[in-house]
Amino acid sequence: MLVELDLDGAVVLVTGGVRGVGLGITRAFLSAGAVVVTCARRRAEVVGASFLECDVRDPDQVSRLVSGIVQDFGRLDVLVNNAGGAPFTLADGASPRFHRKVVELNLLAPLLVSQAANAVMRSQPSGGSIVNVSSISGRRPSPGTAAYGAAKAGLENLTASLAVEWAPHVRVNALAVGMVRTEQSHLHYGSDAGIAAVEKTVPLGRLATPEEVGACAVFLASPLASYVSGATLLVHGGGEAPAFLAVADTDGGSS
Q: Which residues are catalytic?
A: 148
Identify the three-state secondary structure at position 56.
Answer: coil
Cis peptide before 110 (omega within 30 of 0): no
Q: How do strand 35-40 and strand 50-53 relate by DSSP bridges? A: parallel
| 8 Å CB contact between 54 and 79 | no
Please give the backbone phi and psi of residue 226, each rounded to the nearest 5 degrees, phi first: -65, -20
C-alpha 229/C-alpha 162 separation (Å) is: 9
C-alpha 92/C-alpha 84 separation (Å) is: 22
| 8 Å CB contact between 238 and 203 | yes
**Side chain identity at residue 84, one-letter code:** G
Report the sign of the C-alpha dihedral through residues 240, 245, 246, 251, in that order.
negative
